[in-house]
Amino acid sequence: MDVRFRSLPEFPDPTASWKRKGLGGEQSYTQILERLGKELTHLKARNVVIETGHRAEDIRLDGYVRSSARKPAHPGVRLWFESQAVRGGKAVGYQCHSMDTYREWQDNLRALVLRLEALRAVDRYGGEGSQAGGEQYTGYGKLPPFTPGSEVVPPSAPPKHLKQECAELLLDVAGCLISQTAVEQMLEAGEAAKRIGRMAAGSAHPDRPDQSGDEALFLRVQKARELLGLD
């Protein structure tokens, strides 16, 4: 699943701590991500971002939370993605799903998965939303996430923060110094940027003779090259 976690230091309009509760049943973090991946596949989702209260340094280079991560600042979770699935003759578009009801962040993420499963069930088994052409998703429609001070990106373009993160990823994997000038050069998508993209792909390729490659990282590199127009 092509997803990236991102630090959310403060959850907007948080639930009072004494009102939070536990979510019945247990499921591992890996199982939750597998179920989330299934729902996002049905929605033909891309540009998936999961915002949690983890610190930025607790998020790995490949976009996932470190196993050694500290307890997040809050348990709230926000899930952003762009759905290319067609409902009622038009794409679902950008979605933002938030959850802050439960005491543990994994439970809030699982609750969001349960919500997506329930919304898909409306399409499968019928209901007022499905009869109206996927209106059950309308309440979660949002503009893509963006960094303070940046322009709102139209749905046809990747969010600006995502392009910057892609540039930093390629520079890092290629062994280049990450600087504002280097990032700007990558965003220009010139020959130098394409060369760095190829270097990053070669460095992460899972079939490297020295077995130093990483399949998951390679897939992220390839996606980054695609989003920056370097492939």
Is 47 a residue whose pLDDT tops 60? Answer: yes
Question: In the 8-state DSSP scheme, what is residue 115?
Answer: H
**Of 161, 167, 183, 182, nearest in space to 220 by CA:** 167
Both ends of the chain: CA-CA distance in Å? 20
If one compares 109 and 62, the residue with the highest pLDDT of the two is: 109
**Of 1, 47, 91, 34, nearest in space to 224 by CA:** 47
Phi and psi (nearest 5°) for 57? -75, -10
pLDDT digits (tens, 9 = 90+) for 90-140: 778 888 899 999 999 999 999 999 999 998 887 766 655 444 456 677 767
**Cβ atoms of residues 54 and 7 within 8 Å:** yes
Is 158 a residue whose pLDDT tops 60? Answer: no
Query: Of the ranges 25-34, 110-119, 148-157, which is most confident?
Result: 110-119
If one compares 131 and 181, the residue with the highest pLDDT of the two is: 181
Q: What share of the chain is helix, strand, coil (3-state, %, to 5)?
A: 45, 15, 40
